[in-house]
């Protein structure tokens, strides 16, 4: 893999990833001629004292680009005199800092009265705490082809995306103040995607996310009860009685969880537990593209009616990598709790059947109690039936 790093006109970082080590990126690929002004990142994080979790507030994001026409897509290559976020006329995978980020390295500079980027301060007479929304948000362009999706990539292209995710995880984890790195893809207008070009995002959070905290607490409790790792036990149980297994390889297993929240939800685990993307070995990396592309193509066939193609009714989904928190101790490495979490990808759609979405209504949004319209066993059977 060849990695080329440059800067956009407003100082944001842009990185090209090329599969061929001999790829040459000339001056035209790295020079952004646009007269861009720096966008002040007004990000802050506020602590919710009732739920004991942090909420990001980023009012500057209201001005971000929203559903531009295809010929104005900012993620396509720069061609025919039209300049985009990617100066090059062609690319394989490109990653750049989001122009309208939820979290940003310079957030502290715009945060009134703060005493430091990692310091919470009282903002009122009640127990309200806030601090700058320091961190980083990146955009990952999976391909230069606007009309493709991740499922359309070749295994080699998907492997390059995996390598880019891994490289970004390593670099962002080493940044001061970063506690967790989250690679994800939102796909489809129903999910809320504002740009149609095939892309994902990476968030580098200044805290461990609430969902991960709950996973770690569950894993710690399981370790106390059994002396074993929770995620290893879950994977072993699914492989032993595979009614919910969708795809199984030598190094990866994809299954619908026993208590799936969403109508069609699949969790993809490496068979050998690792804590994050950087810890995958070459055998796991080599098998991942085929397994993941198989899953995405099955998702695209879930809601195809007679006479339709998968492209005519693309399935909206969220694909989310769960990785261990990244804080390091020079003496001991990761905190013991963090080593319990297993890297895995959660893939789910908000569509429950043809023409119908799963809305998060009162029970889900109000009380965090999901009501699933499809049994996990039936969902797994259906996903096995729609072989790509």
Can you tell me whether residue 269 is helix, strand or coil?
A: strand
199 is catalytic: yes
Q: CA 162 to CA 180: how far, in whole Å?
A: 18
| Active-site residue (options: 38, 67, 110, 199) | 199
Dihedral sign of CA atoms 226, 228, 229, 233 in order: negative
How are the residues of the chain apportioned to helix, strand and coil, as percentages rounded to the nearest 5? Answer: 30, 25, 45
Q: Are strands 44-48 and 129-132 parallel, antiparallel or unpaired?
A: antiparallel
168 close to 95: Cβ distance less than 8 angstroms: yes
The rounded distance, in Å, linking the Cα atoms of 276 and 272 is 12
- Alpha-carbon distances, residue 26 vs 14, 16, 354 (angstroms): 14, 12, 48
Cβ distance 19 to 92 under 8 Å?
yes
What the block records as the tokens of 59 is: 């009012």
Strands (E), 263-377: 264-270, 317-322, 344-349, 351-353, 356-357
Catalytically active residues, by annotation: 199
């Amino acid at each position: 893999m060849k990695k080329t790093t440059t800067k956009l006109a407003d100082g944001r970082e842009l990185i090209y990833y090329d599969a061929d080590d001999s790829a040459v990126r000339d001056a035209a690929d790295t020079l952004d001629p646009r007269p861009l002004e720096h966008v002040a990142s007004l990000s802050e994080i506020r602590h919710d004292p009732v739920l004991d979790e942090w909420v990001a507030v980023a009012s500057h994001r209201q001005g971000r680009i929203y559903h531009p026409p295809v010929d104005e897509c900012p993620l396509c290559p720069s061609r025919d005199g039209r300049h985009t976020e990617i100066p090059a006329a062609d690319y394989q995978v490109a990653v750049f800092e989001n122009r309208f980020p939820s979290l940003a390295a310079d957030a502290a500079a715009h945060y009134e009265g703060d005493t430091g980027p990692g310091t919470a301060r009282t903002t009122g007479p009640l127990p309200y705490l806030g601090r700058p929304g320091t961190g980083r948000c990146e955009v990952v362009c999976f391909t230069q082809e606007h009309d493709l999706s991740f499922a359309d990539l070749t295994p080699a292209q998907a492997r390059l995306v995996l390598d880019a995710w891994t490289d970004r995880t390593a670099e962002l984890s080493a940044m001061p103040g970063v506690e967790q790195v989250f690679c994800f893809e939102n796909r489809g207008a129903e999910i809320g995607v504002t740009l149609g070009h095939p892309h994902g995002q990476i968030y580098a959070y200044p805290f461990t996310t609430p969902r991960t905290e709950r996973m770690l607490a569950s894993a710690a409790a399981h370790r106390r009860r059994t002396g074993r790792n929770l995620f290893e036990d879950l994977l072993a149980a699914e492989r032993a009685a595979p009614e919910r297994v969708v795809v199984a390889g030598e190094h990866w297993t994809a299954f619908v969880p026993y208590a799936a929240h969403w109508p069609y939800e699949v969790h993809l685990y490496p068979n050998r537990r690792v804590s994050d993307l950087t810890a995958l070995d070459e055998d796991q990396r080599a098998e991942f593209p085929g397994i993941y592309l198989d899953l995405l193509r099955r998702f695209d066939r879930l809601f195809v009616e007679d006479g339709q193609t998968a492209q005519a009714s693309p399935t909206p989904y969220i694909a989310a990598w769960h990785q261990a928190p990244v804080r390091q101790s020079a003496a001991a490495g990761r905190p013991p709790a963090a080593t319990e979490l297993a890297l895995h990808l959660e893939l789910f759609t908000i569509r429950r059947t043809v023409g119908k979405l799963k809305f998060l209504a009162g029970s889900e949004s109000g009380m965090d109690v999901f009501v699933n319209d499809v049994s996990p066993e039936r969902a797994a059977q259906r996903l096995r039936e729609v072989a790509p």
